Structure 1
Amino acid sequence: MQQTLISGLSSIADDYDAILCDVWGVLHDGLTAHEGVADALARFRENGPVVLITNAPRPSHPVVAQLKSFGIPETTFDSVVSSGDVVRKFLAEKNVRTVYHIGPTRDLPLYENLPITLVEDPADADAIMCAGLRDDDTESAEDYRAELAGIVPLDKPFICANPDIVVERGGRLVYCAGALGQLYDQLGGTVLQFGKPHDRIYEAAIAEVKRLKPDATRILAVGDGLPTDVTGANRQGLDVLFITDGIHAEELGEPGHPDLDKVAARLAAEELTATHFATRLVW
């Protein structure tokens, strides 16, 4: 499939009724917003709804607050669907009451207003929640090998609340819950995955699009992650705008100047397609 390099969203906006847009990597790098993204989203909203779809292992409202702190106001999007939202629904449906939490304290809003008690011993838990590394500035998945190896024989539901392996933070890559889920799987455990590229989060996000615009059929997915954003969109049969200056930037040529042959080869190697690609999301 021939991918089209575009200079901005304006060149394809009229072809779509709605956007499902990734957050971390497309809108910001974990520390600051990327230039032009707020304007691009606000302008597209004249065509149709913008639903943000994120693997953040938290409910939507902290995500909205973070975006606002970066200068991306609520007026630039219509709704947010997070991996945390989908996990919370699952916990409620399965009547989970006790959880062993792996992750930083910033992800504790995941349990807000749910009848859940956090326990210190995984053997006492109804489920193991993998939200991330406790200190992603200094740790890697290998720091958790012994802990995870001890959990596998317990045969507890192991919930990976964020399938991302890495994200970019201020120009460097840090590990996410997906790296722990990957190791848990290698150790012989079974992982329940939530977030992109898995179906539950897309079902919720597309339902939001339909709520906002019932006749929307032409939906564009925007993202920078091949194993999450692009894979998920391909599985859903959605067109994709692949942002190259994200987590794969160094693989695809010089940042800001992607090598078109490398982009095509990387997509082909993963058996993925992208309808369009751009260095950053701008109008």
Structure 2
Amino acid sequence: MIQLINGLKPFIENYQCFIVDLRGVLYDGDHVNCEALSCLKYMRHSGKKVCILSNAPRRSYRVIERCAEMGLTSDYYDFLLTSGEDAWLQLKNAQLKNEPENLYYTFNKKVFPIMAERDYGFLDDLDLEPVHDIQKSNFILAIGWDGITRTIDDFYPLLDQALISKQPMICVNPDLNVIHKGKEELCAGSLAVYYQEKGGKVYYHGKPHPEVYKTCLEKMGLHQEPTPKVLAIGDSLHTDVYGAHQANLDALWILGGVHAAELGLHQSNNNQPNNNQVDDYETKANMERLCIRKNVKQMPKIAMVNLIL
């Protein structure tokens, strides 16, 4: 049974470190959740480590800059890691070091990029040659698309061609979808699932895959502890809750994020669920049903609508 809580403060003393999702927890794509920032501030003042772990398919420094512009400055956390940074470092190390065990050591330079124009900076300082004919590329780099000039349907025929030549795909954002201004937007993870189900080889970076959690624990100095007391906080069952389970961490499920509509949570004018309108009995029933429908193997330990003290 998932425990539905009204505030995190009573639980903070039980943990050494908190691994916190960005989108859907700390901000909605446009605005920062000020109550969540107060929660981070309290964690750090209590001597706890705070690591922000995001499936943003961009370099960490870019996300840090954007967060600071919105008021989420570096004094709220100890470390910030993106799936984009994890992928970029893996690609860069494959080019710099003669390490055959590196996943991408044998990859050719010619890459078919699935990315919006704003994301081409990801290729900076990487010795890669972007090509726009998938029959001439050696692997696919899936970051995302703008949703305006192209839709996910535009990529299915291209991926079918890549399957013939057995090109591997690097998925830089395993999220299936996000909610932006109340509307669903599909992410690179949706393409990766399609490609994998068709028999394609996919290399993932980010949640729910254990490697990024290991990096977070290393940065927090907890990687050598047999059972570190860490709480992973996120809104997605697919990435945050499942990722915590994969990494043997406790999970706090934030209900007011990507699954809010599925959970029947009412929304206010700013597209955020209203804490005052939550019916505990109905919400708990919806939580259980959704976990069953999503085939969640390990239920989260606790849940709350939005991250607050």
TM-score, L = length of structure 2: 0.84
2:305 pairs with 1:276: no
Gaps of 5+ in 1: none
- 1:100–1:127 CA contact under 8 A, matched in 2: yes
- 1:132–1:180 CA contact under 8 A, matched in 2: no
> Could you say which residue in structure 1 is the equivalent of 2:78?
78
Residue of structure 2 aligned with 1:124, choices 129, 136, 148: 136
> Could you say which residue in structure 1 is the equivalent of 2:23?
24
Show the 5 A alignment for 1:130-141. Answer: 130-133=142-145, 135-137=146-148, 139-141=150-152
Residue of structure 1 aligned with 2:120, choices 95, 100, 108: 108
SS in 1 for 2:80: strand
Larger-Rg structure: 2
C-alpha change, 1:197 and 1:213, in structure 2 (3 Å) is same
Deviation at 1:217, TM superposition (A): 1.5
> Could you say which residue in structure 1 is the equivalent of 2:182?
171
In 1: Cα distance, 2:157 partner to 2:134 partner: 13
- 2:134–2:158 CA contact under 8 A, matched in 1: no
> Could you say which residue in structure 1 is the equivalent of 2:262?
251
Alignment coverage as a number of residue pairs:
281
Deviation at 1:138, TM superposition (A): 6.5
State the identity %.
Answer: 29
SS in 1 for 2:257: coil
Deviation at 1:231, TM superposition (A): 0.4
- 2:52–2:77 CA contact under 8 A, matched in 1: yes
SS in 1 for 2:71: coil
In 1: Cα distance, 2:33 partner to 2:136 partner: 43
User: Residue 57 of structure 1 aligns to which amino acid in structure 2?
Assistant: P
RMSD: 2.2
- 1:55–1:84 CA contact under 8 A, matched in 2: yes
Structure 1 runs of 4+ with >4 Å offset: 211-216
Residue of structure 2 aligned with 1:262, choices 256, 274, 286: 286
Deviation at 1:29, TM superposition (A): 1.2
> Could you say which residue in structure 1 is the equivalent of 2:233?
222
In 1: Cα distance, 2:287 partner to 2:130 partner: 44
Deviation at 1:214, TM superposition (A): 7.5
Deviation at 1:137, TM superposition (A): 4.6
In 2: Cα distance, 1:214 partner to 1:188 partner: 38
2:49 pairs with 1:49: yes
User: Residue 245 of structure 1 aligns to which amino acid in structure 2?
Assistant: G
In 2: Cα distance, 1:164 partner to 1:147 partner: 21
C-alpha change, 1:118 and 1:139, in structure 2 (3 Å) is closer
In 1: Cα distance, 2:149 partner to 2:6 partner: 37
In 2: Cα distance, 1:163 partner to 1:81 partner: 15
SS in 1 for 2:290: helix
Deviation at 1:267, TM superposition (A): 2.5
User: Residue 24 of structure 2 aligns to which amino acid in structure 1?
Assistant: G
User: Residue 224 of structure 1 aligns to which amino acid in structure 2?
Assistant: D
TM-score, L = length of structure 1: 0.91
> Could you say which residue in structure 1 is the equivalent of 2:202?
191
In 2: Cα distance, 1:58 partner to 1:99 partner: 17
11-20 vs 255-264, which moves further: 255-264
- 1:166–1:175 CA contact under 8 A, matched in 2: yes
